[in-house]
Structure 1
Amino acid sequence: MLSVYLCFVVYCLRVCSSEEDVIRQTTYGKVRGFVTERIPGKRIYTFLGIPYASPPVKELRFERPVPPTPWKNVLRAFTLPPACIQYDNMMYILEHFPGFYNNSEDCLYINIYVPEVESNRIKNTSVLVFMHGGSNRVGMGSMLEGDILAGHGEIIVVTFNYRLGIYGFVAAKDEGLEGTYGFLDQVEVLKWVKANIGEFGGNSEKTTIYGHSAGAADVGFHAISPLSKGLFQQVIVHSGSPLAFWATTDPHWPQGYNIDPSCEKLGGCNKKTYKEQLKSLNIEKLNEMKGMDTPRDLITFPAVIDGEFLRGRPSETYSYQLNVDQFLLAFARDEGFPVTKDASRNIFKTFTREDLKKVLNYYSPVYRHIKNFTEMVANEYKEYGDLSPYNQLHRVDADMIFYAPMFRLADLICRYMKDLYLLSFDHVSAYSPHPDWQGVPHGVDLFYVFGVPLVGHQRYQYDELDKEASRKVMTIWSDFIKGKNLELSPYQENNKQYSRLVSRNNEIMIQTDNSFRPRKMHFWNTVMPTINNSSTQRANEVKMNSSSVSCVNCFIIFISCTMTFVFSV
């Protein structure tokens, strides 16, 4: 009888939890969470929808975040909060979280996933704060929930929503529109974590911020912003860069603007200021508004250099100012716009060389000093043209949008940071819905980081090797976050090594390589920026000596009768 009783006690210690076990005190009031155990033996205390700011509605629309109203009763943090308003009918979110349609302007909430580990008792569990991607106009914090990563890595995972699109980033300086509302939401979250995560067992001095795609550019901004200094210690930049052309406003635009503040375009302002008129518009009208034209519309309201959140252009600021001690840069093996196998066949049949030239021409404003930009790029990527002009475009997109600005960032900071690591996710699932030539496109590896193969997904199929790849990448992330020694080689000024997560002979392993795509990185980061403004140099005359490479250096939906592809920056 005694042995049965003891077994019951042990069982309760592992499985049962009282209401008091999941109540935590925050600055603004108490919150009650719940316990999940999607992986056997990995109990997670989960708190969903904790407000970190007041709803940014009515008079608070297009204003800086303000603290939430304190509450007296215990807040039930049981349900994922609504996503912030976005223009795409939730299609991007549905790719990640099928069946989730809830969105609202009242969206500034945090979700916290706390593993049941001993370090919680002494408030010493490492913390990961995730900033989602989606071109800063779509997505939400918990499109992929954080409990699997938290349990596997024994780290606290924090996800959150921030204002998107025009609501978060519209800038017209003289009209009182700062363009940094989404970034200031992010800063507010980091301040909240700093003040409160100890109550959840976390150590605020062991905090890593992690961003994917446009979220990667965002965390890159926080790494140099004076407003974020002291709020975290490490950064993970995943498939994006603050140095990308799409991340900040065109330097030729008026400073502090990413929209033309014309009352005429609003149908008149009725004696109101432009900002007052925007505040009065309904959601449908606001969702139709666009900022200044950007190449391929990757980010409709790019970041402005406001003098406060961003004091200068990141390419200059990264040379002398950094808020962090360690950097991990990660990317998918192939990046580019993901397409399905069926869509690929249709694209290869219909996408012509003229189509290629038209799309490349969209990028020409970025290189307005190069008169024959399209010809130069097409010639540089001609080795891919035998397969299809679309394959050429895919390679250009991967290099220009993602890889080149990421390696330019690495080359800037490797001169003064020894703890810099680069990782390429090279594992291709046997059940990949993408064509063989595309390999691992943009966003596929994010599912592995959040442990999706271990629990399954409505849209994708995974096997045991995928599960092992997921465990491996989660271990790398959590070891980096906890300050452990990594099996990754550091990226250094005199030794430009990067690591690859590969699958070989039915095993997952880490492999070290040198000089990622040296010719293409040299082309984008050295040759293209330095061509003389008056140059009419032909593409085949450009000398591409890869040995001279030094260490200095959206969501889009296209729908036709033949294909659909979904992409986020």
Structure 2
Amino acid sequence: KGNKTRLHAINLLLKASDGKAPTKSQNLSNDLIVTTAQGKLRGSILTSRKGKQIYSFRGVRFAQPPVGELRFKAPVPPESWAGIRNATDDGLSCPQPRANGSYPTSEDCLFLNVYTTALSKNGNNPNRPVVVFFHSGGWYYNSGGSFLHGPQYLLDKDIVLVVTNYRLAALGFLSTGDDVLIGNYGMKDQVATLRWVQQNIAEFGGNPKDVTIAGCSVGAASIWLHMISPMSRGLFNKGISMSMGVNTLWDVTKDPVPQAKKQAALLNCPNDTSVEIAECLRGKGDQEIASTYFDMLTWEYQPLVEYTPIIEKDYGQERFLTENPMKTFLEGNFVKIPWMTGMTKDELDPWAYYIVRNKTLSEQFYDRFDVLAPVTLQYERGTQRSHLASQAFKEFYLHNQPITESSKRELGNLYSDALVRYGQHMTSKLACKLSDQPVYAYEFEYQGRYSHRYIPGTNTPFGVVHHDDLIYLFYISLLFPEFTPEDPETQMVEKLTTLWANFIYTG
């Protein structure tokens, strides 16, 4: 390989039929017992797409409940227990504004799921490579639950899969910029997951020295941050970033105090001092806090990401970020690992189309572009550089013409380029230059019958949009059926899981 790294482009297109055997998932409780450092767990059995037995351990606590005085604190290692604890159901998801009954939430949410097809026996460990997946959701919603990340597709490969929850929005990222509310709790939850894996994964047949971290959207941006964070060193060996929104991280350099004051005011809390904010917010209900998220936003559900990780000042604590992550990255001070990045063909087009279809919004966006573009596209606001960038974007993408139906492709490209493509392409190229490890890039172009976004009023997928590649990696039972050999999507499941497995096995 030499000192130069390779950037590999992989276009995933459907070309031939697969014809593998059908399977259906089961959840048969039995006496499947694994001993962790904290105590014994009873698992259950699922069935993979091709009929393999999957040993499933769900709702595994990796940190103490972050409630009471532990709210707005770094995660604390879990306590041990006596006897056998059931790990046969998902733990509750973390509080989020979209708690609509689809899945229950609770502040006591620091749980992970482990899936394997080969357990350690009599001290003999199969030493399977491990994948730890961090979910998407703008750092304010979503879950690591099996209803969104079912293992039935990936576990046809010889890997161990871990999917985890982490704290979200204000409960996961609120900071007062001092030692009262430091911030980055959600990212430190992810680190706690990786430390749990190092301590326990061998009992599930996994190799703690062969860990791939993976994620989609902000989960993908999390991978990049773990490559930089001093807290994450030595906890993983490879990375996969899908639709990585690195550009949303410009906010790591901002002063978090105005955001904290606004959050407090929305909950009728005094906000003159950090102590007042913290004491009042600790007295509010978790869902009460989560439900204010959309009121924090500036314009029509924008920006897509409001709460982000921040740079921590040194108060003697473990710090997730110690300086601007891009500065750290450019200086080459990041973990050099094999890294695969990917994006979908149409990414954020539907979000732009939402504006195009609404005459009032499209007129507002065009007329106030200099103010609203930095909000929606998440770059710095109110500076001369911001003004020049807005002018350039308006001319290049909109040709200085009012937004109409014919603008949807250009506006979609603006959203996708600004929030996904540019940042992912830039960091991939920089990694090629600064790392001696291989870097791979793919674009996912396959459009099946199902999507996370449909053309309004139809069952026709909008395109190949943000999150759509997840459909072929995980059985997302909350949204889609489980694919069988008769389904045309089956071959793409085989292609994409094979691509992932080959990278996980060999880098």
Q: TM-score, normalised by structure 1?
A: 0.72
23-32 or 424-433, which deviates more:
424-433
The question of 1:107 aligning with 2:74 is answered no
The question of 1:64 aligning with 2:74 is answered yes
Change (3 A) 1:257 1:26: farther
1:494 aligns with none
The question of 1:441 aligning with 2:465 is answered yes
Change (3 A) 1:70 1:316: same
Q: CA deviation at 1:305?
A: 0.8
The question of 1:249 aligning with 2:239 is answered no
Q: CA deviation at 1:36?
A: 1.3
Task: Quote the Cα distance in structure 2 between the aligned partners of 1:352 and 1:463.
Answer: 43
| C-alpha contact 1:332 1:441 (8 A) present in aligned 2 | yes
Instruction: Give, as a single letter, the amino acid of the residue that structure 2 aligns with 1:445.
Output: D
Equivalent runs, 1:320-399 vs 2, <5 Å: 320-338=332-350, 347=357, 352=362, 355-358=365-368, 361-364=371-374, 366-367=379-380, 368=383, 369-382=385-398, 388-399=406-417
1:527 aligns with none
Equivalent runs, 1:399-548 vs 2, <5 Å: 399-417=417-435, 418-430=437-449, 434-435=454-455, 438-451=462-475, 457-458=480-481, 464-483=487-506
Q: CA deviation at 1:339?
A: 6.8
Unaligned runs of 5+ in 1: 1-14, 91-98, 485-569
1:316 aligns with 327
The question of 1:274 aligning with 2:292 is answered no
Unaligned runs of 5+ in 2: 1-25, 314-318
Q: CA deviation at 1:235?
A: 0.7
1:158 aligns with 162
Instruction: Give, as a single letter, the amino acid of the residue that structure 2 aligns with 1:220.
Output: W
Task: Quote the Cα distance in structure 1 between the aligned partners of 2:327 and 2:431.
Answer: 11
Report the aligned-residue RMSD.
3.6
Task: Quote the Cα distance in structure 1 between the aligned partners of 2:43 and 2:72.
Answer: 31
Q: Deviations over 1:200-251 (max 9, x none)?
A: 110011100001111111121111111000000011111114x31x224263
1:85 aligns with 95
Change (3 A) 1:80 1:262: closer
Equivalent runs, 1:123-134 vs 2, <5 Å: 123-134=126-137
Q: Deviations over 1:169-216 (max 9, x none)?
A: 001122511111111111111000001000011001110000111111
Instruction: Give, as a single letter, the amino acid of the residue that structure 2 aligns with 1:79.
Output: D
Q: CA deviation at 1:332?
A: 0.6
The question of 1:297 aligning with 2:298 is answered no
Change (3 A) 1:438 1:36: closer
47-56 or 283-292, which deviates more:
283-292
1:513 aligns with none
Q: CA deviation at 1:122?
A: 2.8
Number of aligned positions between the proteins: 455
| C-alpha contact 2:65 2:108 (8 A) present in aligned 1 | yes
1:508 aligns with none
Q: CA deviation at 1:118?
A: 9.6
2:260 aligns with 259
| C-alpha contact 1:336 1:398 (8 A) present in aligned 2 | yes
Change (3 A) 1:254 1:267: closer
26-35 or 254-263, which deviates more:
254-263
* Rg comparison, structure with higher value: 1
Task: Quote the Cα distance in structure 1 between the aligned partners of 2:405 and 2:484.
Answer: 28
Q: CA deviation at 1:87?
A: 1.2
Q: Deviations over 1:37-65 (max 9, x none)?
A: 14243110000101111111112111111
Task: Quote the Cα distance in structure 2 between the aligned partners of 1:24 and 1:70.
Answer: 14
| C-alpha contact 1:209 1:234 (8 A) present in aligned 2 | yes
Q: Deviations over 1:253-304 (max 9, x none)?
A: 3378752379766343799632122111223542254597678222222211
Instruction: Give, as a single letter, the amino acid of the residue that structure 2 aligns with 1:131.
Output: F
Change (3 A) 1:37 1:458: closer
Task: Quote the Cα distance in structure 2 between the aligned partners of 1:339 and 1:304.
Answer: 26
Q: Deviations over 1:72-96 (max 9, x none)?
A: 0101111111100111224xxxxxx
Q: CA deviation at 1:382?
A: 4.0
The question of 1:232 aligning with 2:228 is answered no
Task: Quote the Cα distance in structure 2 between the aligned partners of 1:348 and 1:258.
Answer: 29
Q: CA deviation at 1:416?
A: 2.9
Instruction: Give, as a single letter, the amino acid of the residue that structure 1 aligns with 2:196.
Output: W
Identity of aligned residues (%): 28
Instruction: Give, as a single letter, the amino acid of the residue that structure 2 aligns with 1:70.
Output: S
- Secondary structure in 2 matching 1:179: coil
2:14 aligns with none
Change (3 A) 1:229 1:19: same
Change (3 A) 1:469 1:264: closer
2:182 aligns with 178
- Secondary structure in 1 matching 2:109: coil
The question of 1:216 aligning with 2:236 is answered no
415-424 or 345-354, which deviates more:
345-354
Change (3 A) 1:460 1:404: farther
Task: Quote the Cα distance in structure 1 between the aligned partners of 2:363 and 2:490.
Answer: 40
Instruction: Give, as a single letter, the amino acid of the residue that structure 2 aligns with 1:391.
Output: R
179-188 or 475-484, which deviates more:
475-484
| C-alpha contact 1:150 1:156 (8 A) present in aligned 2 | no
| C-alpha contact 1:113 1:146 (8 A) present in aligned 2 | no
- Which of these residues, 146, 152, 171, is aligned with residue 167 of structure 1? 171
Change (3 A) 1:261 1:347: closer
The question of 1:33 aligning with 2:43 is answered yes
- Secondary structure in 1 matching 2:163: strand
316-325 or 260-269, which deviates more:
260-269
Q: CA deviation at 1:101?
A: 2.3
Q: CA deviation at 1:157?
A: 0.7
